[in-house]
Structure 1
Amino acid sequence: MDEVDGMSAGDRGGVQELISIIKSTRVPIICIANDDGHPKVRSLANHCLKLKFRRPMVSQVRRRLKYICDREGFRNMSPEVLDEVAEACHGDIRQMINMLQSWQARKQSVSQAEAKGYLSSEGKGFQQQPIFDLFKVFFEKNADIYQRLDKYFMDPDLVPLMVQENYVHFSAAEDIDKLAKATDLMSMADIGNKQLRESSRWDLMPTIALLSSVYPGSILASHLMGRPNFPSWLGKMSSERKSVRLAQEIDMHIKTRVNTDWKLLLLDYAPCLRSHLSLPMIRNGKEGVQTVIDLLDEYYLSNVDWETILDLTSVQQRSNPKDSIPSAVKSTFTRTYQSGDHVSSTVSLTQMKKSGR
């Protein structure tokens, strides 16, 4: 099982099922994860023998590369050259072997100077930098356009997000004209990035690099006031995807009663359902429980959907109605719902996708 720490809500119950299989099987199951301390796999880790692997050291890789070169007839490879290859590939042994194979096709011996030239031409001549140090280069007054472009392509996904998150915190941003110009450029870059993603217009990447990071950084080149912040957009995107998925699940359940999609559901139906699913229990207490359950059954919704609707329709300016329902009433609601029989929707998510909704 690869990437077990990547199990998301789409794999609901997957971890528990995997644990039950591990308990009963006689065949070893190898679970691979990048972060064994992630909350998603914390319960799974209690049933596994942890074997941690580290990136191989240069001295270890050098001996193996030397052995491979000798067996393949690629002789006279000095330890210095092999060290250059190992450091440039950052522990990726497969990439090292592929690189040496391509060099062997050119000549039977490579000097250290030639190796550096090959690595530079193949994009391996730079050293990885932490993203918090990387994006600051764009706001240095002495950095030229080529330095900024090189830094951009080290991480073209995260660098523009770092620039957008922190550009207002540079001292030059106090000039409103410069700030407005930099903002306009990044807005244009977002338009280009959308074209790149939707139409695979990879030829736009240099232009996007200039508009999103290089040019705004040169306009606001100054010192950072305070600490750099990690892009909050990533967290917002994760929350949005979760909300969309939950809305699609509710839309799937309610589809047999309401002809809508998840967007209209959130805009038109969910606010109305919010009131009818909460006010009876807020006003009437336990006597309003059955009214809410009857409404859920009418639209083929579950008690989980009840909680989801109240969460999705609650924003910072509006409190969640669940907070106004006494704990005893909510407990009664849960027990009453679970003790009864309820009809579920027969519409599947696959059918919804095939219909284009």
Structure 2
Amino acid sequence: MCSKINSKPSNGFNRNEDPALFKAALLSGPPGIGKTTAAQLVCEHLNMEYIEKNASDQRSKKLVATFSSDSHSVASFTNKSTMSNCVLIMDEVDGVAGNEDRGGIQELILLIKRTRIPIICICNDRQHKKIRSLANYCYDLRFYRPTVQQIRGAMMTVLHRENIHQIKQETLDEIIKSCNQDVRQTLHSLNLWAIEGETNPNAAKMINKSVNNNPFELCRVSFSDDLRQKSLSDKLDIFFYDYQLMPLLIQENYLQCAPTLSNSDNHKQKVTDLEQLSLLAKAAESMCIGDVCSQMIYSRNDSWSLLPYQGIFSTVAPCSYVRGHLRGMVNFSSFFGQRSRTNKNERLLNEIEKHICLKIASANKQQFNLDYLSYIAKIFIQPLQKLQQQGVEQCIALLDEYYLNRDDFQTIMELNTWGKTGKNPYDQLDTQTKSSLTRIYNKTAHRTPYAVIDMKKLKKSKGNLDEDDGEESDGDEEDKENEEEGDLEQDAMIKMAKKRAAKPAAKKPKGK
């Protein structure tokens, strides 16, 4: 159920370090699969006492801070005189929210930094934005939902010890599936079945766990073999839960699915590598057709009738080809990050093409990118690579020749990182050369046929202009009021009240 996540070093701090170097551990996974029980068993196995704080306890910033303050200790909350061999278990940390628990996660992170005892954090929603920040300071342990076969073996052992032998394997599998493979809920359901099973033969069908649907859980259900017997309408309901996100999740995770086939006797059998490759190819082809339907829907406002066909080709058909079970967790779609990066590169490329258009005539930015950009990057970087600091002035002269600034130079280097090495050539320069380039470029003046606008200064100037407009409008209103008063004085039909003369100030008596 539990496996270690080998993350990349750039994904956080100390990801590839020994788990003993971490002061806290983060246990995440679906509810009812034994996360809290596993934490308690580990503490008992190590003969360590544990203090458990769950959602029923207040875990606000002020209360969590008392755990690490100078005047309080963990022993004060447990009425124990010593805190040696003690572990703090923070259960359901993804539920630390609302006014009562405001600031609890931030204070928990500070507590992890300066704690002297191990801390175990447990959560269900690993993708919560608060948990993402907490995970950077914890050793990441992810629990996965066990399969029906694994739960069945454990439940058969429990039933045998409880002398319950009249339950059939099909009934047990039905109970496990109705509980959404929740071990805790399955145990409670079997207890209910043992009480009512003899008198009510439909007790197993009455057991059904209320599951909160979300795109990640629906994606897992789409790839599961349990959906094989469902109707087309039920399969399309998964697509229509979020018809924009579900195709992207299917496309991101279909390669992680281990497909299985069912024969005439409804027995599952594994597929060979060649058969799996053929099924993946069919799924990819179906998703391509679904993408064509998506383009037709969003390019034409009157083509929404194609939405069910997009659901069939992008969600239903690919899942039918590779249906089996997912190896690992459901990953979020990387399309959004790649799309954001593409938009950024297009904007920067368009800016460079406009700056250099007086020197290089190109039809559009695509032609400039394919035919000119790689050669321009090579010409600009060569003086710095060969001569280092002595080539700085030559590089600046080339930038002035093509009406480019230093930011454009760095952008050109970033847009040419798909070579054999895949590294930015500017980043490979030594620090002294880059510092010399920045210092000399900022000292000299550069004439360009366009105006360089600083967005930060532009926002400030806009704010000042708005204030000036308000002051001018107030001045205009005062002028209008003065004009109206002048018109009233000139009108012979209106008599203006005369101002009374001020009384002379009383003279002070002279001192004697």
Does structure 1 residue 295 correspond to structure 2 residue 398? Answer: yes
Closer/same/farther in 2, CA of residues 347 and 329 from structure 1, 3 Å limit = closer
Matched to 2:440, the amino acid is T
Map of 1:274-289 to 2, 5 A cutoff? 274-289=377-392
The correspondence for 1:183, drawn from 261, 284, 300, is: 284
Q: Does 1:269 align with 2:356?
A: no
Residues 200-242 of structure 1 deviation map (CA, whole Å, 9 limit, x = unaligned): 3211111000000012112222111222211122221111111
**Residue 232 (structure 2) pairs with residue 129 (structure 1):** no
Q: Distance in 2 between matches of 1:254 and 1:332?
A: 24
In the superposition, the TM-score normalised over structure 2's length comes to 0.42
Distance (whole Å) between structure 2 residues aligned to residue 156 and residue 218 of structure 1? 18
Contact 2:219–2:330 (CA under 8 A) maintained in structure 1? no
Task: Determine if the alignment matches structure 1 residue 346 to structure 2 residue 450.
Answer: yes
Q: How much does 1:159 deviate?
A: 0.3
Displacement after TM superposition at 1:135 (Å): 1.4
Q: Which amino acid aligns with 1:341?
A: A
Q: Which amino acid aligns with 1:275?
A: K
Which is further off, 316-325 or 267-276?
316-325
User: Aligned residue for 1:103?
Assistant: none
Residue pair 1:252, 1:347 contacting (<8 A) in 2 also: no
Match of 2:341 in 1: 239
Of 406, 409, 415, which aligns to 1:312? 415
Equivalent runs, 1:54-203 vs 2, <5 Å: 129-139=213-223, 140-172=227-259, 174=273, 175-200=276-301, 201-203=303-305
**Structure-2 separation of matches of 1:245 and 1:54:** 40
SS in 2 for 1:320: coil
Hey, what does 2:324 align to over in structure 1? 222
Which structure is higher in helix share? 1
Q: Which deviations, in whole Å up to 9, do the C-alpha atoms of 1:133-155 show, x marking residues without a partner?
A: 01123223233221221121111
Tell me if structure 2 keeps the 8 A contact 1:253–1:347: no
Alignment match, 2:19: none
Residue 350 of structure 2 is aligned to residue 248 of structure 1? yes
Q: Which amino acid aligns with 2:325?
A: H
TM-score w.r.t. length of structure 1: 0.59
Q: Distance in 2 between matches of 1:165 and 1:237?
A: 14
SS in 2 for 1:183: helix
Paired with 1:345 and 1:224, the residues of 2 have a C-alpha distance of: 57
Distance in 1 (alpha carbons) for counterparts of 2:408 and 2:382 = 16
Q: 1:324 maps to what in 2?
A: 428
**Residues 287 and 314 in structure 2, CA contact (< 8 A), matched pair in contact too:** yes
Q: What displacement does 1:344 show?
A: 2.5
Give the 3 Å change call, closer, same or farther, for CA 164–250 of structure 1 in structure 2: same
Hey, what's the Cα distance between the residues in 2 that align with 1:245 and 1:324? 25
Kindly provide the CA deviation profile for residues 256-313 of structure 1, in whole angstroms up to 9, marking residues without a partner as x. Answer: 2222222122211111111111110111122211111111111111000000100110
Alpha-carbon contact 1:254-1:345 (below 8 Å) kept: no
Partners of 1:255 and 1:347 within 8 A in 2: no
Q: Kindly provide the amino acid, as one letter, of the partner of residue 220 in structure 2.
A: K
User: Residues 128, 151 of structure 1: CA spacing in aligned structure 2 closer, same or farther, 3 A cutoff?
Assistant: farther
Unaligned runs of 5+ in 2: 1-96, 100-209, 261-272, 454-512
Greater strand fraction, Structure 1 or Structure 2? 2
The answer (yes or no) to whether the contact 1:185–1:216 under 8 Å persists in 2 is: yes
Cα distance in 2 between the residues matched to 1:304 and 1:242: 14
Look up the equivalent residue of 2:311 and give its one-letter code: A
Distance, in Å, in 1 between the alignment partners of 2:359 and 2:347 is 20
Identity %: 31
Whichever residue aligns with residue 390 of structure 2, its letter is E
Count of residues in correspondence between the two structures: 227
Over 3 Å counting, the alpha-carbon distance change for 1:207 and 1:321 in structure 2 is same
Q: Secondary structure at the match of 1:229?
A: coil
For the residues of structure 1 that align with 2:429 and 2:323, how far apart are their CA atoms?
Answer: 53
Structure 1 149/348 Cα, relative in aligned 2: closer, same or farther at 3 Å? farther
Structure 1 residue 321: deviation in Å?
1.4
Secondary structure of 1:193's match?
Answer: helix
Structure 1: 4+ residue segments shifted above 3 A: none
The reply on whether 1:206 has 2:308 as its aligned counterpart is: yes
